[in-house]
Structure 1
Amino acid sequence: MRGLFLAFAAGLAGTVVFSPVASIAADYPSRPITFIVPWGPGGGADQVARIVSKLVEPELKTSVPVVNMPGATGQTGLTKLVTSPADGYTIEVMTGDTLALFAAKNSRFKLEQITPLAVMIQQPSGFFSSVTGSLQSWADVEKAVADKELRMAVTGYGSPDDMSVNFFKAKGMKFQSVSFAEPGMRYASVVGGQSDLLYEQAGDVRSFIDGKQMKPVLFFSKKPVEGFEDVAYSGKLGYNVYLPQFRVIIARSGTDPAIVKTLSDALAKVAQSKEYRDYLKLQYAEADSFIGPEDSLKFMKGWLSEASALSQNNAATTAAK
């Protein structure tokens, strides 16, 4: 009898210790999932978050409200994510602009603090000008910076935007980065003449391009960009600067692997949907943008290595002058 009692007690103890954890993962999600956009409304990160939110809700069978938390080149929203419980109920769309800051020696964040769920979009970046201005081609820009300083609208200092601008500054071209955290203000500054050029992705300013207000003068790409075959690109000109923009959806590290899989599987289905594939075309994005969780971290490390190399090369070139 005593042996039966001990066996029963051991089984009961096992149930008490392990079943709540299993239940949490099995019941996930049981309430809304907050989707942080660490930028203001209207930008590329906001756009991808809103379409993903719309398409992923039926897959997860819960609401996924988008919350904009702009500031500090995406670090305000990232702080919210990494200080939230690692329970899968807070996720974020992270951009290359924020990841680039991880390369700094005194960075507030480390890759170990986050778990990538999926890269959802990849786009070539470029320099854009006003259609009504004097900078109608890259040749016009090269001529202009020989005589005067041009103002470049960027997301923030230390961002890929700023690194790319510094690449040309290190070559003696007269550029000045001007930071606009709000996407709408950044775009309007070029159309309104407060800035001479804008660092952005074509899809994010498509309405301005289609409305004949803005045009690309240079893309950072190893090949011509589809739809803009007549626009100069860095690979052809011998400029070793690329850093394509991307948006990766992340959770806090320590999130239960079963929950991570639930989220990642749902995002994979979103990426395969016709509506999302049509969205990628609209954004002039790579058709094969999607990267699953297994390879997302590898992709981010490679991108970060390229950003670090660009930053170091810029510093070395400037110091040598």
Structure 2
Amino acid sequence: MKKKILALAVGLSAAALFGGAGPALADYPERPVEFIVPWSPGGGSDTLMRIVANNVEPYLGEPMPVINMPGVSGTTGIKEASTRAADGYTVVQIHEGLLVANAVDLTDVNWNDFDPIGMMTVSPQFLVINADKSYKTFEEFITYAKENPGAVKFGVTLGGVPHLHAAMIEDAYGVEFSYVGYEGTGERIRALVGGNLDAAIGDIASAKQFVDNGDLIFLATGNPERLSQTPDVPTFKELDSDLELLITRGIFMPEGSPEEARGTLESALEELAADDTFVTQVNNAGGEVNFRGQDAYTAYLEGLQKAIDKLSNKLQP
């Protein structure tokens, strides 16, 4: 018996010395990391996340194959990801839509059921108006809205991210809009151009062509800094608020994933975000690269969650 105990002790000591005890993550990853994108192929999230997946292998050391799992406003794939083993070999893309879906009881899963690894891309959102209105600047728009509560017909996706962004503007500046629901960004921008709306939440891809030809006006951008494509459009931060109106796309692991895996992937994504080829591809797809690591990304999401909790009664479709 003493010999067996001694042999076991020697064996355990050797295992610890040579890294054989338990699941060794020093060489993570040792196989491909499955990347669940909870949207259909060809959409904005799929396009941008495939750019991540197609460029990350030199920095991560293993491929990150994309698995599309669409359904129920992106919540089907996210729900599946939440059930996966927290071993570092499943990641999922999440954006602000999940937080809103949780707030309106579309899903019981939320971002804090995962470990945020890194924000990768942002699609800045804009407050955009019909150019035929009497107000032409942000200040004039807010003055009008304050003097005429509910008079501004504001186009959003009811119960979606644009609805959240409009409610954040209301809250920040003490105004009140009348909401008109549209399924997609293109649909509400066309309604705005046609004069059926006064204002809407839009983006460069959907609205800039109409701004350029004089049909619409960008009053403010939700990006933290002015954008090169719209250098004359002020940020909300310049307009006396802390608003960031963004659609961000980030990468998450199931909650409780190993620290080594989280750190390794975070470092790989940070290096990727500085890759000129990657940045160009994202820009060509209509996005901006804005990397935020685990801590900074978590802080952003916590702040957004507070805003949603405060405004959740306004978001019911």
Correspondence 1:1-321 to 2 at 5 A: 3-12=2-11, 19=20, 21-23=22-24, 25-102=25-102, 108-127=108-127, 135=131, 139=135, 150=153, 152-154=155-157, 157=159, 159-166=160-167, 168=170, 171-180=175-184, 186-187=185-186, 190-191=189-190, 199-202=201-204, 205=206, 217-221=218-222, 224-231=226-233, 234=236, 241-279=243-281, 283=286, 285=288, 289-309=290-310, 311=311
> 1:138, 1:252 → 2: CA distance?
50
Q: Which amino acid aligns with 1:139?
A: Y
Cα separation, 2, equivalents of 1:43 and 1:28:
31
Structure 1 residue 5 displacement after superposition: 3.7
- Asked if 2 retains the 8 angstrom alpha-carbon contact of 1:38 and 1:76, the reply is yes
Query: What secondary structure, in the 3-state scheme, does the structure 1 residue paired with 2:308 have?
Result: helix
The alpha-carbon deviation at position 250 of structure 1 amounts to: 0.5
SS in 1 for 2:70: coil
Residues 209, 235 of structure 1: alpha-carbon distance in 2 compared, 3 angstrom cutoff: same
**TM-score of the two chains, using structure 2 as the length reference:** 0.72
For residue 40 of structure 1, what is the amino acid of its counterpart?
Answer: S
Cα pair 2:38 2:93 within 8 Å, conserved = yes
Which consecutive residues of structure 1, in runs of 5 or more, have no partner in the other structure? 181-185, 316-321
Equivalent position SS for 1:294:
helix
Deviations 1:41-75 (A, max 9, x none): 44442232111111112223333222333333332
The answer (yes or no) to whether the contact 2:119–2:291 under 8 Å persists in 1 is yes
Residues 118 and 206 of structure 1: is their aligned pair in 2 closer, same or farther, counting only changes over 3 Å?
A: farther
Please, what is the CA RMSD of the aligned residues? 4.3
Number of residue equivalences: 298
Conserved? CA contact 2:122–2:248, under 8 Å: yes
In the TM superposition, residue 198 of structure 1 has moved relative to its aligned partner by: 5.7
Q: State whether residues 56 and 267 of structure 1, in contact with CA within 8 Å, keep that contact through their aligned partners in structure 2.
A: yes
**TM-score normalized by the length of structure 1:** 0.71
Which residue identity is paired with 2:293?
A: G
What is the deviation of 1:171? Answer: 3.6
Amino acid at match of 2:97: D
More helix per residue: 1 or 2? 1
Percent of aligned pairs with the same residue?
21
Matched residue, 1:318: none
